[in-house]
Chains A and B, each alone.
Chain A
Amino acid sequence: MEKLRLKVQLACAALFNIGFVQWHSVCFPVLNCHSCPISLFSCPIGVIGKFAEVGLVPLSVIGLMALAGLVAGRLLCGWACPFGFLQELLYKIPFPKFTMPSWTRFIKYGVFVALVLLVPIFLSTASQLYFCRLCPVATIESAIPWAIISGTTNPVSLSIRLAILFGIVMAAMAHRRFFCKVICPLGACLSLMNRFAAIFPERNTDCIECGTCGKVCPMGAGREKDGFGAYDEKAEECISCLECRKKCPTGAIQLWGG
């Protein structure tokens, strides 16, 4: 399953940046910047911010995100998001590792409300505080390529973006999926649907309550004694990577939810 996930992640990273086709009328619920010269879909976070600036709600985008969340939850983060994939590769680099306190997972909801909604509404998407102007994905896929192609007119802004990207890369090397857990506003939106998702890892009656699944979870989703899958502690963080399924001694975990 791990190899399958790797293949899907590689295929999605290639598909979303296929180069010769652009379909920016459609948002795909992964963090992939639409300012990238070779991006296929538009980024839902970027579109929500732009709509917020003109006082509108993008119903089709929110509907699509909600639908994706209800069907698969954060499975898209674990299987399709190119930046999540990049962070997993970064974490494999030998580097001092650290753990994060559990409360830091709430920061991403604040990031969504403050930097994706409030900054465009009350300031502007031209503000340096707007999420897309700080987003590491936009820096990799847009700011750096555009600076190479046509130069930059704002070296201060580019320097800030590069500094943030550097910080997040270092953090991702030290803590698995740091950005997904702590900062990602799209992850925050999808995690709201995670407990209701149709596709979600569940334990069946073979479970012997050994607690291995909780210990190996890369997203830090715990396991309550009498809980079951979606009702587990921090289940909203689960990205369905199925690390727990691999390590389960009785094979009690299945992806298709009950």
Chain B
Amino acid sequence: MLRKVFFAILMPLSLAALVYGGFFREFKVYDNLEKFDQLKNVGIKIKIPGYDQQQPELTVQSQWFSEPEVVNAMTFDGIGLYKDGRLISNYPDLRMLKGRRPCPT
């Protein structure tokens, strides 16, 4: 009986986690902000929402990723963490994270 009670409690919880995580949860992923910081340090003006509003030359892009897309990106080290807690692409272009397959070359 105890076993069935645990089963009845855990089954909807795991289903809810699977459905929410698999179909509804999204993460905002930014371009590689650490690279942008390096570009700033060598004198190139860039625009990052929040702290460099005057310079329109280069703008940081961001995209919403579903959790399965993030899972896929994690399998090739595609996503990292910026110092302020934002998720960033470890690759130069965000588009490289969606649907990319690890390539032997």
Contact = CB atoms under 8 A, between A and B. Distances in A.
A51 B85 CA distance: 13
Nearest to A33: B75
B18 A150 contact: no
B75 A58 contact: no
A113 B18 CA distance: 22
Contacts, number: 105
A47 B21 contact: no
- B interface SS class: helix
B38 interface: no
Contacts of A26: 68, 71
A25 interface: yes
A198 interface: yes
Interface in A215-244: 230-231
Interface string A194-214: 011010000000000000000
Given A70-B10, A150-B104, A196-B10, A63 B75 contact: no
Given A70-B7, A150-B104, A196-B7, A60 B74 contact: no
B22 interface: yes
Contact of B3 (A47, A64, A195): A195
Nearest to A46: B75
A90 interface: no
Nearest to A21: B101
B68 A66 contact: no
B102 interface: yes
B42 interface: no
Contacts of B19: 63
A61 B10 contact: no
A25 B10 contact: no
Nearest to B7: A196
B74 A51 contact: yes
Interface in B1-58: 3, 6-7, 10-11, 13-22, 25, 27
Interface stretch (A3-11, A34-42, A91-99): A34-42
B82 to A, nearest CB: 10
B102 A63 contact: no
Given A55-B81, A67-B14, A195-B3, A25 B69 contact: yes
A27 interface: yes
Contacts of A50: 74-75, 77, 79
Given A22-B101, A54-B81, A230-B3, A59 B75 contact: no
Interface of B: 3, 6-7, 10-11, 13-22, 25, 27, 67-72, 74-77, 79-81, 85, 87, 101-102, 104-105
10 contacts: A24-B75, A25-B71, A47-B75, A50-B75, A60-B21, A63-B15, A66-B17, A67-B18, A195-B6, A198-B7
Given A61-B21, A67-B14, 18 more contacts: A25-B72, A35-B102, A42-B72, A47-B71, A50-B75, A54-B87, A55-B81, A59-B17, A59-B18, A59-B25, A60-B67, A63-B16, A63-B21, A63-B22, A66-B14, A66-B17, A67-B15, A196-B7
